[in-house]
Chains A and B, each alone.
Chain A
């Protein structure tokens, strides 16, 4: 078995064992989960160390086994500069969740199994090089997350889980519709992504090409989510458990934007260029709408959820701009795409950390209402410090990964489409809302739930902390990451420009 298959199937196997053997005790289940996550991270590290750029439309560590030859679908996996960083980010976020959950007492064995399952399918999405394989993992992530929210959530968890399932499932079926369209349009018919990229079916057929792109865009936009397909996100986040929110925002949302760069842009370049302005507009609206609605929230977790809409909007904006063909702008478009991929990684790390930290509130006082806290920095200084770091990272302060990402996104996008500069307002609003939240919750006199609020425990510190440290590391030393992403985004931009 090759490296990638091992990375995908090890957690799935561990999940099956944990689910099938009731004799495994709570502590053993917790630690098994942590151990498997550590091994996963090490495996991804080995993968990264041995990675060499495979060139345009090439994949490293490729593996292909026939699956349903009748419809030219195979178990085809591989990584390139667009997927490797996400693979690493996924491994890190899931490890953080495993550590965070170490002291939870609610059905540890089943929970560990469920999260390992989610980890396997999430990694599967990022290595899939076949549309059907991609879809299989994509859909399974929805099923897994449904059970996370319904089984471990709070508030009206069942309702939120149902809404999440219905919405994202509808999106995934739109996606499947688009995939079938690509299959039928390609000659010879195939679901293989590199083959489809090489063939670029539907070139010269703007109507069908546009419709197929629309189906794929809707499917991915629901998952991302962008305005107006975001309405499932706030309730899902509000009622999900902390580690569920961390995985949902950190990893699952990236499946949408990753689909843009892996499938929509390279396979349908002509349609992407034709609709680039629409995509840019959706990105700008998501940025501004997400920021302003987040500003209006009194519930801390809902606020973070809406900032996700805002942050994902930057990615959509940059990818849309990459489809706008301007004179001598290949370099700028490439910068925008690089920024988008960095943002995927950065948002995964920072938002996962923020959601884990928000979960501390639920754990201590059962409330996310910012008004019912005050002066929290006094009883919980470590908590205040870590949350402040997360907030500054999220608002894009230089020195953090978010700055690198947003700087490149705007440097690239504004160069090809100056009008996108309006989205800069989003950064300002985000800064305001995070500062205001910090002020309301952590400064001033102690109020509400604050007295007796216990500071961060070890497992909380050692889960959110490393995520933020990584964001800082990327902010200070971005080269390691950028060297992997840049060749891939240049290749993608030339594919879109065909």
Chain B
């Protein structure tokens, strides 16, 4: 086996982009920081293009099989890079001209690199590298852009991340001891013969780390606090991009260990149920839109875990997971970008009359919220449909029932937000900033993401064909 570093071109591009932005940013005057932003965008576009081109080829592996470039990695890379690009759009309104602007971009790019590594790793040690690279910049981003509440959110995120990181490494240690290696192919061969309790402890440890990254129950506590406390840029990023890498990694891990033992699929199904139910129930009475979205993302992780429960049992499992990830990323970014456009409106009631004052923004929010509910023909609907079908096909019919009931639960709190948006303005109606100004970029981002989530839903078949490509397991 050779190194073949060229297979990691997208990661390398984003990483180099981060270095350029970090170094170049310190030489740029504050009002010229947009150059750093442009450089970051260029790096991300380059990475997405390189990753998309790589998807056309056969599945390959680099660094002696520890990193795999297949359809799952390719899709995760493209989604992560393009989503971060959209996050830059949100940032253009919020942190343009702020003292730490280029530093934030550098951290975003570094975290994106980590997310990509996480998605492609087929070796537990590489998984650790990906986890750390995706986590540590995140602590910085949460703290940098959040002000006083951000410090608290950063602390909570850091503590949760440190704890789950330790569990992850402990789990890797146990599995290494049992299998005599950390390669997934080796694990698949050796683990069925190993003591079940020890395997269980090891896998649960690794899952703990990944669930923290994904923001799934029971390692979700930091998500609503961070979504509420930190800046819009950081909130958009951390509720969207890390999930892409983490869930693909969860899928690979569960597919690996469930080769001999189907009970891990049940564990995935139970984790999915817990995330869906808890996230939805907790979102019910939130009045801060960002906090509500924070809990909604916890619930969405539950939906995203549904196809994991069918790993290896249904042909639909992996394509539906990847499709849902793309759909979710677009929709969630659209919703957060709307909140970034109205940074002063921190109560659901403040949105009263938005549809009349800013029809475009109201429509983008409508598309985002209906999208998160799973209304056709928006992209998340196709994701929900195919993931639920995969779960039933994989033998978990009851999980589909949970998905449907959770969707009904979720409808209620999304309605609590969009009912005031379309209500007649009254004397309590806060004013809305006009078009243009600093909020122009997030507004455009919201529109682009909303339209894209609709287009993705209508043209689902086109993307689906790309997601059914070769996969290494």
Contact = CB atoms under 8 A, between A and B. Distances in A.
A181 B407 CA distance: 18
Contacts of B388: 176, 180
Q: Chain A at the B interface: mostly helix, strand, loop or mixed?
A: helix
5 contacts: A147-B422, A150-B419, A150-B422, A180-B392, A189-B393
B385 interface: yes
Given A136-B377, A158-B423, A71 B386 contact: yes
B375 interface: yes
Given A166-B412, A180-B385, A66 B392 contact: no
A208 to B, nearest CB: 9
A166 B461 contact: no
A165 interface: yes
A426 to B, nearest CB: 32
A180 B460 CA distance: 18
A60 interface: no
B461 A70 contact: yes
B1 interface: no
B389 interface: yes
A68 B464 contact: yes
Interface centre among A140, A143, A165, A169 (most CB of B within 10 A): A169
Contacts of B465: 69-70
A105 interface: no
Contacts of B405: 173
Contacts of B373: 169
B408 A166 contact: yes
A140 B389 contact: no
Q: Which 4 A-B pairs have the closest CB atoms?
A: A136-B376, A173-B404, A70-B464, A68-B461
Nearest to B416: A162
Interface string B439-463: 0000000000000000000001100
B311 to A, nearest CB: 17
Interface string A57-77: 000000000111111000000
Interface residues of A, number: 31
B460 A67 contact: yes
Interface of B: 316, 319, 359, 370, 373, 375-377, 381-382, 385-386, 388-389, 392-393, 397, 400-401, 404-405, 407-408, 411-412, 415, 419, 422-423, 460-461, 464-465, 467-468
A379 interface: no
Nearest to A135: B376
Given A70-B316, A71-B316, A150-B419, 7 more contacts: A22-B359, A66-B461, A70-B468, A136-B376, A136-B377, A150-B422, A166-B412
A157 B392 CA distance: 39
B408 A169 contact: yes
A174 interface: yes
A372 B373 CA distance: 43
Contact of A67 (B375, B381, B461): B461
Interface in A179-196: 180-181, 183-184, 189
Contacts of B316: 70-71
A425 B386 CA distance: 47
A184 B393 contact: yes
B404 A174 contact: yes
A139 B400 contact: no
Contacts of A70: 316, 319, 386, 461, 464-465, 467-468
Contacts of B400: 177, 180
Interface of A: 22, 66-71, 132, 135-136, 139-140, 143, 147, 150-151, 158, 162, 165-166, 169-170, 173-174, 176-177, 180-181, 183-184, 189
B255 to A, nearest CB: 19
Given A170-B408, A173-B408, A71 B392 contact: no
Contacts of B411: 165-166, 169
Contacts of A150: 419, 422-423
Contacts of A183: 389
A139 B376 contact: yes
B464 A184 contact: no
A176 B385 contact: yes
Nearest to B323: A70
B235 to A, nearest CB: 27
B415 A162 contact: yes
Contacts of A143: 370, 375
A68 B382 contact: yes
B407 A173 contact: yes
Contacts of B404: 173-174, 176-177
A174 B316 CA distance: 21
A337 to B, nearest CB: 29
Nearest to A165: B415
Contacts of B376: 132, 135-136, 139-140
A69 B377 CA distance: 16
A173 B407 CA distance: 8
Nearest to A69: B461
Contacts of A132: 376, 385
Given A70-B316, A136-B376, A177-B401, A184 B408 contact: no
Contacts of B370: 143
Max chain B Cβ within 10 angstroms of own Cβ: one of A68, A135, A136, A169: A68
A68 B389 contact: no
Nearest to A211: B397
A158 B382 CA distance: 29
Nearest to B363: A19
A338 B460 CA distance: 38
Contacts of B397: 181
A165 B411 CA distance: 9
A180 B382 CA distance: 12
A136 B370 CA distance: 13
B316 to A, nearest CB: 7
A410 B394 CA distance: 46
B364 to A, nearest CB: 13
Given A71-B385, A71-B389, A136-B377, A162 B419 contact: yes
A162 B393 CA distance: 34
A69 B464 contact: yes
Contacts of A71: 316, 385-386, 389
A71 B468 CA distance: 11
Nearest to A151: B422
A182 B375 CA distance: 20
Contacts of B319: 70
Nearest to A147: B422
Contacts of B467: 70
A176 B419 CA distance: 25
A140 B464 CA distance: 23
B291 to A, nearest CB: 22
